[in-house]
Structure 1
Amino acid sequence: MKKQKNQQEAKPKAEFIFQRKNYLFMFIGLIFISLGFILMSGGGSDDPNFFSPDIYNFRRIRLAPTLVLIGLGIEIYAILLNPHKKKSK
């Protein structure tokens, strides 16, 4: 009987690789990436004989790619984040 108890205690507890905090940061990163791609869309012209300079505005050239890169940085942080690390004083 004692042998069975020790075998049951020796089983490792099943645990996920990522915790709630990791998934929260991943979700925030996905929001940034999605917002960047949404802001990057549009600006084209339906008529091939007409050029729209709207494609080169600040939103599509600077803001949207910056949001995508920030989102990718947040995703990398979320993957590397260790939620089990104890805070030291």
Structure 2
Amino acid sequence: MSNSPFPFSKKNYRLMLAGLALIILGFVIMALDGEPHGNGFLGLTLGPIIVLGGFIFEFYAIFAKTEKN
């Protein structure tokens, strides 16, 4: 058992921030779509794939094990 007051390690928090950045990037890409109502490639394909990848990365960040010295 660790004496840390935080439930995750520094590695987990960094990975979670990277996943959050991916999610935000996906939404920004969807917003940049120039087609009406976001019906172009960026809004319907690329942006949602990046957002989904960000959420999957978040699950990995939560369950990632840390090395114990």
Structure-1-length-normalised TM-score: 0.63
Structure holding more helix per residue: 2
Query: Are positions 1:14 and 2:6 aligned together?
Result: no
Aligned identity (percent) is 37
Counterparts of 1:58 and 1:18, CA distance in 2: 37
> Runs of at least 4 residues of structure 1 off by over 6 A?
none
Structure-2-length-normalised TM-score: 0.79
Where does residue 81 of structure 1 map in the other structure?
64
Query: Larger C-alpha radius of gyration, 1 or 2?
Result: 1
RMSD over aligned CA atoms reads 2.7
Mark the runs of 5 or more structure 1 residues left unpaired by the alignment: 1-11, 45-51
Deviation for aligned residue 1:57: 1.1
Mark the runs of 5 or more structure 2 residues left unpaired by the alignment: none
Aligned residues: 68
Aligned ranges 1:35-54 → 2 under 5 Å? 35-41=25-31, 52=36
